[in-house]
Amino acid sequence: MIVTKHSFKLVWKYAVCLVLFSIQASGSELITGMQYEQVNSEEFVGRLWLPDTSNKAPAILLIGGSGGGFENKDAQWLSSAGFVVLNIRYFGAKGLPPDLVNIPIEYFNSAIVWLNNNQHVMKGCIGLFGHSKGTEAAILTAYYNPSVKAIVARSPSSIVWAGPGWSGLNESSWSWNNNPLDFHSVGLIDGAIWLSRVLRGKKLIETRDMFDNVLGDEESVNKAMLPVEHMNAHLLLLSGKDDKQWPSTKMADMLVSILDKSNIDFSYDHFAFDNAGHRPARLSKPDDTFANGGTVRGNAEAHKRTKVLVKEFFDKNLQ
């Protein structure tokens, strides 16, 4: 069989479709009785979750990971904690780019403007909650928008990774002013092995090493590093030490190392949970494409502690 560039892209498109479907399902379940409003905006696709109060409340822009879907479970517990929550999609929906490639950071800024003008929101009290790939967008948004007051980055990245888009392997995930941002890619061999496993229907695939193996490329990593020291937002980093999807604890420590050496005016902290995986609220199931990591007890304890830490953090910094 002769593999052409066109046929490789078709195979890649199929594989990414399987992957994104698997990831999206992991955080999209709804809890009975919780309600949201679908936001009809020309600027973004989102769902608005309101707390049980008649008073104005601080708001959180919730940015999910590479699955592209809504983070319903996170939105539910954040709103029940007393926050207005706007959960947005940023690719893969009607009116949005089809792939996670060159997504404009301006898109997230438009959601912040919308929140500041919402009748339920305390103006100027906006925080961001990013999960996994969404942590890149959150930190970049705070860098370009100094009005962001606080960020929670769960299972974070420390750099801009290439977008897992269907149009190719070697493009940035994000752009600003129509210019792609510097990025870093996984190794070609590791990427090919990953692709082969997906296409063969393997389950509980571990991808952490695929990312970890290229973090030693100092020149490329430095170019793609998230500008965390140049934003104004307080930062809470949360990671599971047994994250099987990427080395989130290591990457969170990379961000902390930068901040330790920087003259900054905001607070930052990193909580790394033992025996916890990429998404502590969810255990891996036998038919999952990707492994989550962690133990039943470890993930449960991490999720419980996460909810307390996040509420305390936003209560303190969204005043």
Catalytic residue among 131, 234, 278, 303: 278
Question: Which among 126, 127, 129, 125 has a CA at the least distance from the CA of 152?
Answer: 129
The answer to whether residue 15 scores a pLDDT higher than 60 is no
How confident is the model over 6-10, as a mean pLDDT? 43
The pLDDT tens digits for 100-145 are 999 999 999 999 999 999 999 999 999 999 999 999 999 999 999 9
Catalytic residue among 184, 243, 284, 303: 243
The pLDDT tens digits for 235-253 are 999 999 999 999 999 999 9
The pLDDT tens digits for 143-201 are 999 999 999 999 999 999 998 755 546 899 999 999 999 999 987 777 777 777 888 88
Is-catalytic flag, 243?
A: yes
d(CA 92, CA 95): 9
Catalytic residue among 26, 66, 79, 132: 132
d(CA 87, CA 62): 5
Q: Grade residue 12 by pLDDT with cuts at 50, 70 and 90.
A: very low
Sort 14 into a burial class: Cβ within 10 Å, 0-12 / 13-18 / 19+. Answer: middle
Tokens of 173: 């995930």
d(CA 74, CA 130): 10
H/E element, 261:
none
Domain boundaries, the chain: 5-317
Is-catalytic flag, 278?
A: yes
Cα–Cα distances in Å, from 252 out to 3, 172, 182, 238, 256? 39, 21, 19, 8, 6
CATH of domain 5-317: 3.40.50.1820
Mean pLDDT of the chain: 89
Question: Which among 65, 112, 61, 69 has a CA at the least distance from the CA of 93?
Answer: 69
d(CA 85, CA 75): 6
Question: Which among 289, 193, 210, 296 has a CA at the least distance from the CA of 247?
Answer: 210
The answer to whether residue 21 scores a pLDDT higher than 70 is no
Report the share of the chain in percent with pLDDT over 90. Answer: 75
d(CA 273, CA 294): 9
Full DSSP string of 184-250: B---HHHHHHHHHHHHTT--SB--HHHHHTTTT-HHHHHHHB--GGG--SEEEEEEETT-SSS-HHH
